[in-house]
Structure 1
């Protein structure tokens, strides 16, 4: 078969849109914008599940991570697949950036580069941590625990002194199989929401604000969160671009998740692997990504 220019990587569940499932249709629309602008650049494009059996990745010029949203649930399969495919085709973002970013220990690297992050304590697999003692030591009223490799709020819990015993048991169980991280709960997530700024080749394009549903703290729309248009300040834009500049190399695409905490802008997460980029709020940003991908292929 003729060589394919670009494979847009997705999860097998999202290959075909379901007309009665708005969430799946939304994913399809987001990726349709990217495919549209890639084709305008004269490139051939197909959406491909990353785990499609017997797919010949050497017959693809570049594979672009978009909605591979089962990778953290199937990490034992995904990691060797990633290492293998990186030897057969170009990856966007780059393989070394993907490897760096898929484990949230990257937050330490950002902090060492002078980028303000939400204070984070990592606990490695097989280790232990006394949650109640940690809350007292850092004088945190509440904290959030989550895995170092995760997405979609998997195994993410809000902890306070009243429920600490229950969550201590959960943490102990999680640490048997993976590294975990603990951060102070950021009240601004409830009051103002979490800000997401999209940055392509180091330059800001557009932003959104995510707010949780009443009674929850998770902002993801699959947990009932709501996405709003957002117009960031010059300081917020500069902060997001500075965070992206602190990456090992400048990524083709990035989503910078920011919160206001203790009088500062801080990184909650810097997403370089498979972030939703909210092209429905700014379709021309998909053209920016398409041009960036074309440049990767051309060079």
Structure 2
């Protein structure tokens, strides 16, 4: 196959250009540049584009690498259609099959069935006829977090307790009429100790970040004022992260394994991010080369 490029790095149009005034946009651009230069360093001809670029011929690249396509969950029907079309023209990294598996948080049940300890979760399917009060009564949970099964950046994520269920009931009914949701017991250690993001490339751990919520919040994402710091994980945490990745339907080129200590004190999987996770290359520049080497190996 004659192609013009080896790899196209995918972003969304908001992050195509650098910013001198917006640190968030600058970090996105800078990290993608680190990946770009790492791919070039291993001899791959590379380009960076918005995933919805209307003018690019996607058959002219050997592969596309999902990096910062952070509007996909707001435009999911359009993204899903694009994904199906593009998969017929070029190689997707990670693959379409694993992306579709990972987009829906029901994947957590698959990992649980393979022995990975996940956060206790109750799934509420679209169209279910149940109230928040009934759920909390049946499950005997008093403080919980409600979130969609297809989500990102804490979209429609709510902290609930027995005192505010009624205030969220109308919203909950609107949500489950249109999409599946999940309910989890509130995890107190995420607030006090934070959540650890473990980066794993080609099945091998490279680096970790500790994320903490700002005072008074429970969401660790920096979108909501959360902080991050470098973290040195234990051997047990590294083994957990690598086993979680190896339990996937296929081995992903890149993965971010988010773990925390649950209410019982056990290492627990919060999320496995295989689509477009932030990977904090700015804290560990060498890891971009690990990713690039894996991409080159996949292409050969």
Structure 2 CA distance for aligned equivalents of residues 168 and 205 of structure 1: 43
- CA RMSD for the aligned pairs? 1.2
Structure 1 CA distance for aligned equivalents of residues 212 and 130 of structure 2: 30
SS of match in other structure, 2:279? coil
Residue of structure 2 in register with 1:182 after alignment: 183
Q: Is the 8 A contact 2:12 2:68 kept in 1?
A: yes
Residues 7-43 of structure 1, C-alpha deviations (whole Å, 9 max, x = no match): 1000110000111110000001111111111111111
Residue of structure 1 in register with 2:58 after alignment: 57
* Shift, 1:257, TM fit: 0.5
Structure 2 CA distance for aligned equivalents of residues 50 and 130 of structure 1: 38
Residues 43-100 of structure 1, C-alpha deviations (whole Å, 9 max, x = no match): 1111110001132110111100000000000001000100100000001011211111
Displacement over 3 Å in runs of 4+: none
**Correspondence 1:287 to 2:289:** yes
Residue of structure 2 in register with 1:264 after alignment: 266
Structure 2 CA distance for aligned equivalents of residues 128 and 222 of structure 1: 33
Residue of structure 2 in register with 1:232 after alignment: 233
- TM-score, normalised to structure 2, is 0.97
Structure 2 CA distance for aligned equivalents of residues 134 and 119 of structure 1: 14
**Correspondence 1:47 to 2:48:** yes
Residue of structure 1 in register with 2:145 after alignment: 144
- TM-score, normalised to structure 1, is 0.97
* Shift, 1:133, TM fit: 2.7
SS of match in other structure, 1:127? coil
Which piece of structure 1 moves more, 124-133 or 167-176? Answer: 124-133
* Shift, 1:2, TM fit: 6.2
Structure 1 CA distance for aligned equivalents of residues 299 and 257 of structure 2: 25
Structure 1 CA distance for aligned equivalents of residues 72 and 234 of structure 2: 34
Q: Is the 8 A contact 2:3 2:61 kept in 1?
A: no
SS of match in other structure, 1:144? strand
Structure 2 CA distance for aligned equivalents of residues 155 and 249 of structure 1: 30
Structure 1 CA distance for aligned equivalents of residues 209 and 42 of structure 2: 27
| Pairs aligned (count) | 298
Which piece of structure 1 moves more, 203-212 or 168-177? Answer: 168-177
Residue of structure 2 in register with 1:275 after alignment: 277
Matches within 5 A, 1:72-111: 72-111=73-112
Structure 2 CA distance for aligned equivalents of residues 27 and 271 of structure 1: 17
* Alignment gaps of 5+ in structure 2: none
Q: Is the 8 A contact 2:3 2:59 kept in 1?
A: no
SS of match in other structure, 1:111? helix
Residue of structure 1 in register with 2:218 after alignment: 217
* Shift, 1:241, TM fit: 0.7
Structure 2 CA distance for aligned equivalents of residues 131 and 271 of structure 1: 28
* Alignment gaps of 5+ in structure 1: none
SS of match in other structure, 1:158? strand
SS of match in other structure, 2:178? coil
SS of match in other structure, 1:5? strand
* Shift, 1:259, TM fit: 1.1
Structure 1 CA distance for aligned equivalents of residues 33 and 55 of structure 2: 25
Structure 2 CA distance for aligned equivalents of residues 148 and 2 of structure 1: 37
